[in-house]
């Protein structure tokens, strides 16, 4: 309030402007910049920012200082040059992919990926982008799927929900030789256990809703890559409009402060649960890369420094799945993952129900498959709950 004496202003003006000068102070916690626009210093400053001649804060659909802390921290942890946060993991995936491809282009995607990502890729056909779904855990399939116009290879490793791995370095080498980029969804591992850029990937994407935030109380996503790619992605994202709220960025930044200790405990608890399930006669297979008999345990040791908190397992009898899930007390029947609470779900009827059944079965997402996000409760209590539920079927 500089143009007039506020004491002589009317009630409405004072209700909006009285006391609005922010005091200089250096908070220890990150402040939440809960604002849509930012004040320009003067007309020339506004024109430079809006004209793209200078970078700075204009409007929170673009840059926001709270969100920038999240972005810079993730770029650092993933070993990328820059990052851009989005309102959800899916907003991050769609912004990253739409930045890279145009009509007539081709994508190679792993056949086992999160259900909505699969659905997005199927929908890309409408825009003239063709996606080949192959099993990227075998490099030969990736090599064979290349054709003129292949722009990118997309996969999750471990894959949701079958926990199979793909070799980041081998796929990146093959893709780069053919002029394509590699995008990896690193949600399951987080940069604490796996840094795909270090192994050759170009772009890393996360659903920050999961381990990064860790407390199941917000939705968010992030893309990490080169400064040039993130600049282009900001252009795409500005117009699509999937900006994250500053408050959600703040929650994720707060969650990330304990990422390392949480991931260690998730890993420890998941290993205990996986070993318990392996011995149970109502369980026909346990899919956890930390187990020495996981078919890609050696690859896991090469490209991951831990195995994470996600465990999938197959019950002997698909008919027993609903009764098993309904008998759990401590493990919460819900989608999502990476929270302090143990979450359990049935991919065939829940997260991956969008994948047609014959394809799902072919991809290994069987009706008997159950996916467990092992939380931070005491491992013995999680195991006791699973045991009593298995006893009931």
Which sequence positions are flagged as catalytic? 61, 114, 185, 210
Is the CB of 106 or the CB of 352 nearer to ligand PLP? 352
- Stretch in the footprint of ligand PLP (CB under 6 A) among 85-93, 228-236, 250-258, 286-294: 85-93
Residue 158 binds to ligand PLP (criterion: CB under 6 A):
no
Sign, CA dihedral 71-73-74-80, equals positive
Single out the residue of 78, 105, 135, 156 in contact with ligand PLP (rule: CB under 6 A).
156
Rounded to 10 deg, the angle between the 379-391 and 259-278 helix axes is 30
Single out the residue of 80, 221, 306, 309 in contact with ligand PLP (rule: CB under 6 A).
221
Residue 219 binds to ligand PLP (criterion: CB under 6 A):
yes
Most distant CA pair in the chain, distance? 81
Is the CB of 71 or the CB of 156 nearer to ligand PLP? 156
Binding mask 314-343 for ligand PLP (x = CB under 6 A): ----------------------x-------
130 with 107: CB under 8 angstroms? yes
Q: What share of the chain is helix, strand, coil (3-state, %, to 5)?
A: 40, 15, 45
Closest CA to 312 of 156, 195, 192: 156
CA distance 272 to 31: 39
DSSP letter string, 62-116: S--HHHHHHHHHHHHHHT-SEEEEESSHHHHHHHHHHHH--TT-EEEEESS--HH
∠ CA 369-132-206, nearest 5°, is 60
Residue 200 binds to ligand PLP (criterion: CB under 6 A):
no
Torsions phi, psi for 227 (to 5 deg): -60, -40
Least distance CB 16 / ligand PLP (angstroms): 36
- Stretch in the footprint of ligand PLP (CB under 6 A) among 71-79, 83-91, 133-141, 170-178: 83-91
Residue 88 binds to ligand PLP (criterion: CB under 6 A):
yes
Residue 309 binds to ligand PLP (criterion: CB under 6 A):
no
Residue 94 binds to ligand PLP (criterion: CB under 6 A):
no
Residue 185 binds to ligand PLP (criterion: CB under 6 A):
yes
Least distance CB 392 / ligand PLP (angstroms): 28
Is the CB of 114 or the CB of 192 nearer to ligand PLP? 114
Closest CA to 156 of 93, 219, 249: 93
Residue 67 binds to ligand PLP (criterion: CB under 6 A):
no
Tell me the residue number closest to ligand PLP, measured at CB.
89
Least distance CB 156 / ligand PLP (angstroms): 5
Is the CB of 160 or the CB of 245 nearer to ligand PLP? 160
Which residues, 100 to 119, sit near ligand PLP by CB under 6 A? 114, 116
Residue 167 binds to ligand PLP (criterion: CB under 6 A):
no
Single out the residue of 137, 157, 209, 267 in contact with ligand PLP (rule: CB under 6 A).
209
Give CA torsion, residues 86, 90, 95, 97, to 10 deg. 150
Closest CA to 223 of 75, 61, 373: 75
Residue 187 binds to ligand PLP (criterion: CB under 6 A):
yes
Is the CB of 166 or the CB of 389 nearer to ligand PLP? 166
CA distance 42 to 63: 19
Is the CB of 49 or the CB of 374 nearer to ligand PLP? 374
Closest CA to 277 of 385, 392, 131, 169: 385
| Contacts of 8 by beta carbon, 8 Å cutoff, 6+ apart | none
**For binding to ligand PLP (CB under 6 A), which residues are involved?**
88-90, 114, 116, 156, 160, 185, 187, 207, 209, 219, 221, 336
């Amino acid at each position: 309030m500089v143009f007039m004496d506020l004491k002589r202003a009317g009630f409405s003006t004072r209700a909006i402007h009285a006391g609005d000068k922010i005091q200089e102070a250096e908070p220890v916690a990150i402040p939440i910049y809960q604002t849509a626009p930012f004040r320009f210093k003067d007309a020339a400053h506004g024109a430079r920012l809006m004209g793209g001649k200078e970078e700075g804060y204009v409007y929170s659909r673009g840059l926001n200082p709270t969100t920038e802390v999240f972005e810079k921290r993730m770029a650092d942890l993933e070993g990328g040059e820059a990052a851009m946060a989005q309102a959800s993991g899916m907003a991050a995936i769609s912004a990253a992919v739409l930045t890279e491809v145009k009509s007539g282009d081709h994508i190679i995607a792993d056949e086992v990926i999160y259900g909505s990502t699969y659905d997005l890729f199927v929908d890309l056909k409408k825009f003239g982008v063709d996606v080949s779904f192959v099993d990227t855990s075998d490099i030969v399939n990736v090599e064979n799927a290349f054709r003129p116009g292949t722009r990118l290879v997309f996969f999750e490793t471990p894959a949701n929900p079958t926990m199979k791995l793909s070799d980041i370095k081998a796929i990146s080498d093959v893709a780069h030789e053919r002029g394509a980029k590699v995008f990896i969804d690193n949600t399951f591992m987080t940069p604490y256990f796996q840094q795909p850029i270090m192994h050759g990937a170009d772009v890393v994407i996360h659903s920050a809703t999961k381990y990064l935030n860790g407390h199941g109380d917000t939705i968010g996503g992030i893309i990490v890559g080169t400064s040039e790619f993130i600049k282009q992605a900001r252009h795409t994202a500005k117009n699509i409009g999937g900006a994250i709220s500053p408050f959600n960025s703040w929650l994720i930044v707060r969650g990330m402060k304990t990422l390392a200790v949480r991931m260690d405990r998730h890993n420890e608890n998941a290993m205990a649960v996986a070993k318990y399930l392996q011995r149970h006669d109502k369980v026909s297979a346990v899919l956890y890369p930390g187990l020495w008999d996981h078919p890609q345990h050696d690859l896991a040791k090469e490209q991951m420094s831990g195995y994470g908190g996600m465990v999938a397992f197959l019950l002997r009898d698909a008919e027993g799945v609903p009764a098993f899930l309904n008998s759990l007390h401590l493990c919460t029947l819900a989608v999502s993952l990476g929270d302090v609470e143990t979450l359990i779900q049935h991919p065939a009827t829940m997260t991956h129900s969008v994948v047609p059944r014959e394809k799902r079965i072919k991809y290994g997402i069987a009706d008997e498959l159950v996916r467990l996000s092992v939380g931070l409760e005491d491992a013995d209590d999680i195991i006791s709950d699973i045991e009593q539920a298995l006893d009931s079927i």
